[in-house]
Structure 1
Amino acid sequence: MKKTQKNLYLLEDTIQYIENYGKENGGLKIGQALEKIIEEHKKLSNRYIDDIANAVVDKLHNDLVRIRLGTNTADRNTKVILELLNHVFIDKEFKKEYKNFITTEKYKSKSLIEAEAAVKKQVDTYRLKRLEREVKQKGE
């Protein structure tokens, strides 16, 4: 990489630190010492970010597991409600009461079929937008 000359104003303490660092690391010149200090700082910064990310994951892991389990319960309850509503719609469509419970495995009401199609379209649209965003971000 091409080096560029810059004139800098630094505090005496800073200059002394850079010079001492250069001496301790094989008699580096001020520019070399400063480059090495910056290189080490970048490495430490990246490691610090990784440490923070790992700490966040460790801290939130149990909470995330509970949220996932709660979501599964909500999903099951939603499916039960869906089955009940399907039965109500079938009951209304045919204007008679069924003695046995009708599940979506046996018959799906027109309303349920339309609702599923609408939700599928929404999910597909959202997924397509997300993929387009990801492709755009990778291209930048």
Structure 2
Amino acid sequence: MEDYQITNDFSTISETLDAISQEHKELKKYNRNLQYISHTVATQVIETISNELNRIRLGTNNADRNTQILIELLQGFLQMQNIEHTMTTDIHKPVFLTDAESLVQEKITMMKQRKDSIRT
């Protein structure tokens, strides 16, 4: 304490204790402010990530549901037509399938470009 008194040019020990006490209070207040800011930022980040993940989950669930519906419709159609065997695309890939794949890929690219241009 005497070193602190000499270093900071205090005339009495009481003055030195007051200064140390004041520094301690300020440091404690500063640490509380940092904790509050850290907590607030962490809360905001968690909320934002949670919202984005929820949107992704809902989109994925919707895509899964639509895929299941299409599978059920196709299966029903194949049964109504009494089709026992199908030709797979590794044997022959029809032009209409290639066209459909290209169209879907173009739509995905356009949506991505639109989404990217909105973000910037």
Superposition TM-score, scaled by structure 2 size: 0.38
Superposition TM-score, scaled by structure 1 size: 0.35
- The structure with the largest helix share of the pair is 2
- Between the two structures, name the one with larger relative contact order (CA 8 Å, sep ≥ 6): 1
Structure showing greater radius of gyration is 2
